[in-house]
Structure 1
Amino acid sequence: MEIQYHYATVSKAIEELRQKGYNEDFNLDNNYLVCHSGRFGHEEFVITDIYFYEGETDPGDEATVYGILSASGHKGVLVTGDEADLDPMSGAIIDKLLVHRNNR
């Protein structure tokens, strides 16, 4: 899948992804993305959309919204804050997310 980059507010990005059927809420847990439907390692999902938002007054006030599609077909959203705040235990997952975000 081709990565699409969109620049909007966080809430607008989530709203647009929900309209596309991204209904799961993913979270980081150690070396996995987890949601109600299961947990997925870095090889078990693809990033289909990235929405990056930087605060107008504070560059440290940033968020990235990812559209995630698991290998088993679950579509959902992951929201991360400033990359300095990302969980160091999530190594391979974070590497995959940052590579896509930094290539925007």
Structure 2
Amino acid sequence: MRSYNTMVEALSDLAVRGYVHDFNLIEDGIHCKALNTNFNTEEFEVKEFYRFEGETNPDDSSILYAVVTHNGEKGVIVDGYGVSSELSTKMVEKLKFNH
């Protein structure tokens, strides 16, 4: 896995590597507004993730996920530390895979 100093650096590199869609977390999966499509937990894989600490405020910490859907769409999810309580158990497990 690569290493990045900032989220902007990571997002730029991931975009060059084809991770161009923005995905949002939903209860049982992810949603892409640009594609107007939801993907459930079985329809995408987390390929990489990166943690970023807030420089002055720990509440500014976040995780960047690089994901690929079952039909080959690549994109990113940006989430604050601590998976949202509104997510299903399956979704929480999907995002916890390596951290």
TM-score > 0.5, shorter chain as reference: yes
Runs (4 or more) in structure 1 with deviation over 3 Å come to none
1:13 aligns with 2:23: no
Which residues in structure 2 correspond to 1:63-78 (within 5 Å)? 63-78=62-77
Identity of matched residues, %: 33
Contact 1:32–1:42 (Cα < 8 Å) also in 2: yes
Query: How high is the TM-score relative to the length of structure 2?
Result: 0.84
> Residue by residue, what CA displacement relative to the aligned partner does 1:51-94 show, whole Å, maximum 9, x if unpaired?
1101233333211111100011000010001215x242343222
Larger CA deviation: 54-63 vs 20-29: 54-63
2 CA distance for matches of 1:39 and 1:5?
A: 28
Query: How high is the TM-score relative to the length of structure 1?
Result: 0.80
Which residues in structure 2 correspond to 1:1-104 (within 5 Å)? 4=1, 6-35=3-32, 36-37=34-35, 38-83=37-82, 86-100=84-98, 102=99
**Gapped regions of structure 2 (runs ≥ 5):** none
**Gapped regions of structure 1 (runs ≥ 5):** none
Q: CA RMSD in A?
A: 1.8
Give the count of matched residue pairs: 97
2 CA distance for matches of 1:63 and 1:11?
A: 12
Give the superposition deviation at 1:45. Answer: 0.8
Question: SS state of the match for residue 10, structure 2?
Answer: helix
Give the superposition deviation at 1:10. Answer: 1.2
Q: 1:26 to 1:87 in 2, by over 3 A?
A: farther
